[in-house]
Each structure stands twice: as structure tokens, then as C-alpha cells.
Amino acid sequence: MYVGNELRKRHKPDNKVTWIIDRNVNTTNVCIANCKFCNFYRIPGHAESYITDIEQYKTKIEETFRLGGEQLLLQGGHHPDLGLKFYTDLFRQLKKLYPALKLHSLGPPEIAHIAKLEGKTHTEVLSALKEAGLDSLPGAGLKF
């Protein structure tokens, strides 16, 4: 906390604190990580499993904009069939529909999962996602 506060003072010497409105939206609840504490995930093929579709994103994004929000925090399970192309296509489509939307999306475990599925490095996955429209990565302090 001390170091974080000192860094904040260095970066924001005027001590001005700002905030934004964003919305958490889950990409899918299908996950193969099996974390013991998790009541969110469903195994592949489960009757309650879902992948959020573009119409659902549109509804949620437009509601967010109407309420003054500007950013989506997209996170979800480690779906065994959703690789890099799924996310780059999704990010491109969302940015094309809503150029002002900020994508603060996917966490380090999801990047690791995608990298493993694709046989790519974390850097290669992050570069491709950034190219597709990712603005920042939650939980990693990474802004592009």
C-alpha cells in the first residue's frame, strides 16, 4: 500500500483522483479450470452453460452508455473451444460497432489459458488482442 501510494503521488502530483463507470459482462460461464471456490462456472455441455452473443453485448453496452458508462470489463471461464480468434473477432466487432468503447478485458489467467490453447506465448496473445482493440488488462496493471 505504501509503495502504491508513493507511486500514485509521483504519477499524480496534483493528487487528483478520477473514476469511470464500467460494466462487468461475462463472455461465457464454461470453464475447465475447476476452482474449488467457484460457483459461477459450468462444465462444457452443461444445460446452464452459455456464450454471450452479439445481441446481448449490444443491449448491455447501449444500457451502459445511457447510464454514462464507457468501458466493459469482459471476463469469463476458460472455455476449451474459445481460442484467440474468438476474442480477436469479438473485440474487433465491438470496436467497429462502438469505437468509443473501452475494453478493459480478460485477466492474466485467461491470457494464460488462450496461450496454452494456441501454443503461443503470452506476449503473442496480448499483442494480437491489443491489435484487435484491447485497451487494458484487469488485474495486471497493464494499459496499452
Give the interface with ligand SF4 as residue ranges (CB under 6 A). 31, 33-35, 38, 40-41, 77-78, 109
Query: Which of 43/70 has CB closer to ligand SF4?
Result: 43
What's the closest the beta carbon of residue 117 comes to ligand SF4, in angstroms? 14
Query: How many Å apart are CA 132 and CA 142, to the nearest integer?
Result: 16
Cα–Cα nearest to 45, from 59, 58, 24, 31: 31
Output 77 or 133, the one with its CB closest to ligand SF4. 77
- 119 phi/psi in degrees, rounded to 5: 65, 35
Cα distance between residue 110 and residue 118, in whole Å: 12
The least CB distance from residue 34 to ligand SF4, in Å, is 6
The three-class DSSP label of residue 80 is: coil
Q: Which is nearer to ligand SF4, 80 or 97 (CB)?
A: 80
To the nearest whole angstrom, how small is the minimum distance from the Cβ of residue 13 to ligand SF4? 38
Minimum CB distance to ligand SF4, residue 82 (Å) = 13
Residue pair 78/113 in contact by the 8 Å Cβ criterion: yes
d(CA 41, CA 113): 15
Question: What is the smallest separation between the CB atom of 79 and ligand SF4, expressed in angstroms?
Answer: 9
Task: Report residue 113 as a C-alpha cell.
Answer: 489459458
Identify which of residues 21 and 33 has a Cβ nearer to ligand SF4 in the complex.
Answer: 33
Whose Cβ is closer to ligand SF4: residue 101's or residue 113's?
A: 113
